[in-house]
A and B are shown apart, each in its own frame.
Chain A
Amino acid sequence: MVHPNIVVDYLLAPLQFGFMQRGLLASVLVAAICGILGSFVVLKRLAFIGDALAHASFGGVALAFVLGANIYLGAFVFALATALGIGAISQRGRVSSDTAIGVLFSGTFALGILIISRVESYTTDLFGYLFGDVLSITESDLWTIAALGLVVLALVGAFYRQLLFVAFDPTVAAATGIPARALEYLLLALLGATIVTAIQAVGIVMVVALLVTPAATAYLFTSRFHHMILASVVVGAFSALLGIYLSYYLDLASGAAIILVATALFFVTLALTGRKLSARRVAS
């Protein structure tokens, strides 16, 4: 029998460090924001574009770093420009959208690599953005993440009904006079903002997992969209919490620990809900 005080001690011990408090708060916040947008990403099959925007943002991170500008701003501008570029190129109809995504994200990512290869002294710092370095998050980073999170939350809240309609049935939404195209761009912009909040917590390479995995887990056991969003937020936040504690006690890379907890939760849920999933497939 474990004495409850020991559990409490285990939970509180890491929190005596300021960097752990900030890291924990940041990753839980980021995971929650990703849970909201991730539900759209999973249902609209935007995983590839999400991954692309994350990689594209690295060009902005590197450029902002060299110029001494705000890293988050640089990342957001690059992610947004890439999202708009993908839309513009694929709408011409000459190349498909996944080809446009492939061209643009590898180009902007390569630009980031090129820049850091020229400024060697910064290399280790910048690699933190590639693979996540949640424990180096500063108070001002935390404020930026919180502000971006609030903006995402407010916009999704404001246009929830419209976004749901467009996500479920874009053709009819457009037919009834809903500005479907504008809402799709809004969703991409929100996706860009969300990704930017997450790059320091889990790293550019793994952002897409934080978007997709908790939402996919939630999809397995919910049957209404707002339940899926709520469950996805809870699963994501719990993964972040457990991941950070595991990384503290077992000395693991924090971003990887968070993602692996989320992945494990997905497979456990998949095993537990196997029957329901096949029932759904039969019904469709």
Chain B
Amino acid sequence: MNKALEIKNLSVAYNGRPALEGITFSVPKGAMLGVVGPNGGGKSTLLKAMLGLVRPQTGTVEILGHWVDRRVRKLVGYVPQREDVDWNFPVSAFDVVMMGRVPSMRPFRRPTARDRELVWEALKTAGMERLSDTPIGGLSGGQQQRVFLARALAQEAQVLLLDEPVSGVDAPSQHEIFDLLHRLQGEGKTVVVTTHDLSCVAERFDLALLLNRRVISLGKPEEVFSPELLNEAYQSHLMVLEIGGRTVAVEDGTPKHRG
């Protein structure tokens, strides 16, 4: 079995309003997939439905060849949107990364030497070991994202699902995060990222999924980001320009509403 994700006919509705309809696609192990599409197009919902955090109306999700049960969940690292987290909570970067070990810990048990080792290793990989004592609220947006990614690594996740990891993060930090994701891909992890940054997906990802309630297209970024498909996904909310043989996409400034 060399598919990391296998999604068949997945449909989700919020209060009777469809958010995802008949989503079918698969992602091979070790791939790096960028999920793009307009706001309200169901990017976050797709990640949540894969994790079973929202209940689908129809469809199945298999991760690493298994139904999403407790054992498989340990292998999936999830980095939520920034808005979902209380940044004033009194925890240090180290404390947050240690949470990645909790699914493997039994009640009454303290962290073992191995747990600590995995936490330090993850902090090092994410380049955060020197800030391990800093309260999570005292870190920059990019550092916070790297701590959350480190938590997923401490969890020994094989599949990483990141929801808008670079929104609200400055440009140099965005590059650091994508570099880090590339290295993790090199280590055999499967990476799925939702993002607004089409150019970044075009340059750095090997797969792109264009999503607007349905799968508009899935494939190599250069095939997926054609003016026709982009227009179909974004309708009037995206201007696709051809400048010197390059496709440039400009998203219009409609108010953000997440879905």
| Known contacts A162-B102, A162-B107, A168-B99; is-contact A177 B88 (Cβ 8 Å) | no
Stretch at the interface among A8-16, A19-27, A220-228: A220-228
> Does B103 lie within 8 Å of A177, measured CB to CB?
yes
| Known contacts A175-B73, A223-B135; is-contact A43 B80 (Cβ 8 Å) | no
Count of chain A to chain B residue pairs whose CB atoms are closer than 8 Å in the complex? 94
A178 within 8 Å of B (CB atoms): yes
> Does B137 lie within 8 Å of A176, measured CB to CB?
no
- Report the separation of the CA atoms of residues A246 and B105 in the bound assembly, to the nearest whole angstrom: 46
Q: Which residue of B lies closest to A154 (CB)?
A: B108
| Known contacts A171-B53, A175-B73; is-contact A280 B92 (Cβ 8 Å) | no
B138 within 8 Å of A (CB atoms): yes
Contact-residue size bin, chain A (C-beta under 8 Å from the other chain): 20 to 34
Partner of B137, one of A222, A227, A283: A283
B121 within 8 Å of A (CB atoms): no
Partner of A178, one of B87, B103, B135: B103
> Does B102 lie within 8 Å of A161, measured CB to CB?
yes
> Restricting to A185-238, which residues have a CB under 8 Å from any CB of B?
219, 222-225, 227-228
A7 within 8 Å of B (CB atoms): no
> Does B74 lie within 8 Å of A168, measured CB to CB?
no
- Residues in B whose Cβ lies below 8 Å from that of A161: 98-99, 102, 105, 111
A159 within 8 Å of B (CB atoms): yes
> Does A222 lie within 8 Å of B102, measured CB to CB?
no
| Known contacts A177-B70, A177-B73, A178-B102; is-contact A227 B90 (Cβ 8 Å) | yes
Q: Which residue of A lies closest to B136 (CB)?
A: A168
- Residues in B whose Cβ lies below 8 Å from that of A283: 87, 135, 137-139
Q: Which residue of A lies closest to B157 (CB)?
A: A176
- Report the separation of the CA atoms of residues A281 and B79 in the bound assembly, to the nearest whole angstrom: 23
A69 within 8 Å of B (CB atoms): no
- Residues in B whose Cβ lies below 8 Å from that of A225: 89-91, 95
- Residues in A whose Cβ lies below 8 Å from that of B71: 177
- Report the separation of the CA atoms of residues A281 and B138 in the bound assembly, to the nearest whole angstrom: 9
Partner of B107, one of A159, A174, A284: A159
| Known contacts A169-B85, A171-B84; is-contact A176 B90 (Cβ 8 Å) | no
Mask: chain B, 65-101; 1 = CB below 8 Å from A; 0 = not: 0000011011011111000111111111001101110
Residue among A168, A222, A280 with max Cβ neighbours from chain B (10 Å): A168
B180 to chain A, nearest CB (A): 18
- Residues in B whose Cβ lies below 8 Å from that of A224: 90-92, 95, 135
- Report the separation of the CA atoms of residues A199 and B78 in the bound assembly, to the nearest whole angstrom: 42
- Report the separation of the CA atoms of residues A43 and B111 in the bound assembly, to the nearest whole angstrom: 24
Describe A's contact surface by its main secondary structure: helix
A172 within 8 Å of B (CB atoms): yes
> Does A177 lie within 8 Å of B53, measured CB to CB?
no
Residue among A161, A174, A224, A283 with max Cβ neighbours from chain B (10 Å): A161
Q: Which residue of B lies closest to A279 (CB)?
A: B138
Q: Which residue of A lies closest to B98 (CB)?
A: A161
A157 within 8 Å of B (CB atoms): yes
B201 within 8 Å of A (CB atoms): no
> Does A280 lie within 8 Å of B88, measured CB to CB?
yes
> Does A175 lie within 8 Å of B53, measured CB to CB?
yes
- Report the separation of the CA atoms of residues A182 and B115 in the bound assembly, to the nearest whole angstrom: 25
- Residues in A whose Cβ lies below 8 Å from that of B151: 172
> Restricting to A114-171, which residues have a CB under 8 Å from any CB of B?
157-159, 161-162, 164-165, 167-169, 171
- Report the separation of the CA atoms of residues A172 and B135 in the bound assembly, to the nearest whole angstrom: 19
Partner of A223, one of B79, B92, B108: B92
> Does B74 lie within 8 Å of A177, measured CB to CB?
yes
> Does B108 lie within 8 Å of A157, measured CB to CB?
yes
- Report the separation of the CA atoms of residues A178 and B76 in the bound assembly, to the nearest whole angstrom: 13
B155 within 8 Å of A (CB atoms): yes
- Report the separation of the CA atoms of residues A134 and B245 in the bound assembly, to the nearest whole angstrom: 82
> Does B108 lie within 8 Å of A176, measured CB to CB?
no
Residue among B79, B92, B138 with max Cβ neighbours from chain A (10 Å): B138
Interface positions of A (Cβ within 8 A of B): 43, 157-159, 161-162, 164-165, 167-169, 171-178, 219, 222-225, 227-228, 280-281, 283-284
- By Cβ-Cβ distance, the 10 closest A-B pairs, closest first, are A177-B73, A177-B70, A175-B78, A223-B135, A175-B51, A284-B87, A176-B103, A158-B107, A165-B99, A283-B138
Interface positions of B (Cβ within 8 A of A): 51-53, 70-71, 73-74, 76-80, 84-92, 95-96, 98-100, 102-103, 105, 107-108, 111, 135, 137-139, 151, 155
**Could you give 10 example pairs across A and B, Cβ below 8 Å?**
A161-B102, A169-B80, A172-B99, A173-B99, A176-B100, A177-B70, A223-B90, A224-B90, A224-B91, A283-B139
Give 10 A-B pairs besides A158-B107, A171-B80, A178-B102 with Cβ atoms closer than 8 angstroms. A165-B99, A165-B102, A168-B99, A169-B99, A171-B78, A176-B77, A177-B71, A224-B90, A224-B95, A280-B135
